[in-house]
Amino acid sequence: MLMKIHYFTGEPWEEAYVREKLQGADITFHTGALSTYPDLTDPEAEALCTFIDSPIGEAEMGRFPALKLIATRSTGYDHINLAVTKARGVAVANVPFYGENTVAEFAFALLLALSRRIIDADESVRESGAFSPVGLRGFDLDGKTLGVVGTGHIGAHVIRMSKGFGMKVLGFDAFPNQDLSHTLNFSYVSLPELLAQSDIITLHVPYNKDTHHLINKENIGTIKKGAYLINTARGAVVETDALVAALKSGTLAGAGLDVLEEEQNLQDKKSEISAENHYLIDHPRVIVTPHCAFNTTEAVERILNTTIENIRGFATDSLTNIVS
């Protein structure tokens, strides 16, 4: 296989794993994101293998004039400017499925941590030394209404899991799957109805122009008072100012956030974190995790294997998982 590839943001063990499966390829591994190598150019590179922390637009592609393929190790590809790739004739391949259970389990981990005050309880024992449940009372999931926004692979798995907790489920999707609704015994409703009736709202939509600020200043006030919001999708699906206002007003009792609107700044320029995101990080009933819902041993291997197949397929004119 003769391709020149630059591979970004890989863990040390990935190099041997990828080299073994892409024998014959000329691969250069970089420990950081593409943005951490602003002076890197390569007139012969045909492929970039990246993650979501590597925004790629006109300027980045201009540094690789022979570029033919961007293989992103993610389901989402909003970090890649598809208008520019199309104009340049560069293919983009993603990982459409790597384990809906992986993200669904993490969404429930956030929910359980909030509902049973697990982080508060752990900190109480560690910091005070007291072994007391005072001030740590939570709430049951049994009988609560879960609003699932986006009922694709991950959302459907969340619904399956919720049934084990005895929850009622409402779903919202731009393209309702009535067969799924019948099989998993949940009801589709409009987004306003879901927001008004759900005790917990969990987001599982891709990020695009239609889902940008899907939860926003205009509709967040219609959320059932005292509800909780879980976001393992993309930060910009929720308008940060609206989220902060809802927490301050008590419309939302708490949130579990694996993503934030400006998470790139959290990685690269901690001094530039907005006051709003500082508020979320410091809020006692908000859990913020660093975009790691995907991060299990099994899921990462599935991601790598799919990405490797995408690159191998492109090299042999057997295209797989091409989004643009």
In this structure, the strands spanning 168-172 and 145-149 are parallel
Angstrom distances, CA of residue 309 to CA of 6, 201, 233: 16, 35, 25
Going by C-alpha positions, the residue among 114, 200, 202 that lies closest to residue 157 is 202
* Residue recorded with tokens 């099989």: 183
Q: Do 25 and 5 meet the contact criterion of CB atoms below 8 Å apart?
A: yes
| 234 labelled catalytic | yes
**Could you tell me which residues come within 8 angstroms of residue 259 by beta carbon, excluding any fewer than 6 positions away?**
231, 232, 233, 234, 235, 291
Strands, E assignment, the chain: 4-8, 26-30, 47-50, 69-72, 91-93, 145-149, 168-172, 187-188, 200-203, 227-231, 252-257, 286-288
- 287 forms beta bridges with 256
Per annotation, catalytic residue among 117, 234, 239, 261: 234
Going by C-alpha positions, the residue among 235, 239, 237, 231 that lies closest to residue 262 is 235
Calpha distance 289→256 (Å, rounded): 8
Per annotation, catalytic residue among 100, 239, 263, 276: 263
Question: What counts of helices (H) and strands (E) characterise the chain?
Answer: 12, 12
Active site residues: 234, 263
